[in-house]
């Protein structure tokens, strides 16, 4: 009985140890829940930022795609204009060549007529001097 008088009964002591253990586990659980909530909040913030970044990049990509499509349409239009200008230049060269040839033929024809008239006048003058 002396052992019993010196301290609390063994089952009571065991209950205290268990109670302390339960309290420690509950405190640890509360800390884990708090850390989990903090980590979830951080994750949600990062996810929101990532989503915002993703959406902004997607919008930027759409803008760049539209700009690229517009530039490609403009390039096609300019290439068509260039081909048309080249065709026009070739037509102008052809017309200029034909015009030059026609002018040269007209000059040659006038020269030929002039030479015929000169020869005719010389023949008339020669005939007049012989009379």
Q: What is the mean pLDDT of the chain?
A: 92
What per-residue confidence (pLDDT) applies to 2? 46
Q: 65-99, pLDDT tens digit by residue?
A: 999 999 999 999 999 999 999 999 999 999 999 99
Record the tokens describing residue 52, joined without a space. 């915002």
Q: 98-124, pLDDT tens digit by residue?
A: 999 999 999 999 999 999 999 998 988
The tally of CA atoms less than 13 A away on the side-chain side of residue 118 is: 6
**What letters, b where the CB count within 10 A reaches 16 and e where it falls short, cover 79-104?**
eeeeeeeeeeeeeeeeeeeeeeeeee
**pTM of structure:** 0.51
């Amino acid at each position: 009985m002396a052992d019993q008088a010196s301290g609390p009964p063994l089952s009571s002591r065991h209950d205290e140890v268990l109670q302390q253990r339960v309290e420690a586990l509950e405190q640890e659980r509360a800390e884990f829940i708090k850390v989990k909530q903090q980590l979830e909040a951080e994750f949600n913030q990062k996810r929101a930022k990532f989503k915002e970044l993703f959406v902004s990049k997607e919008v930027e990509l759409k803008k760049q795609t539209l700009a690229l499509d517009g530039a490609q349409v403009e390039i096609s239009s300019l290439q068509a204009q260039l081909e048309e200008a080249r065709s026009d230049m070739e037509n102008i060269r052809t017309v200029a060549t034909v015009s030059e040839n026609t002018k040269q033929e007209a000059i040659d024809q006038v020269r030929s007529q002039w030479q015929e008239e000169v020869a005719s006048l010389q023949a008339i003058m020669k005939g007049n001097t012989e009379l």
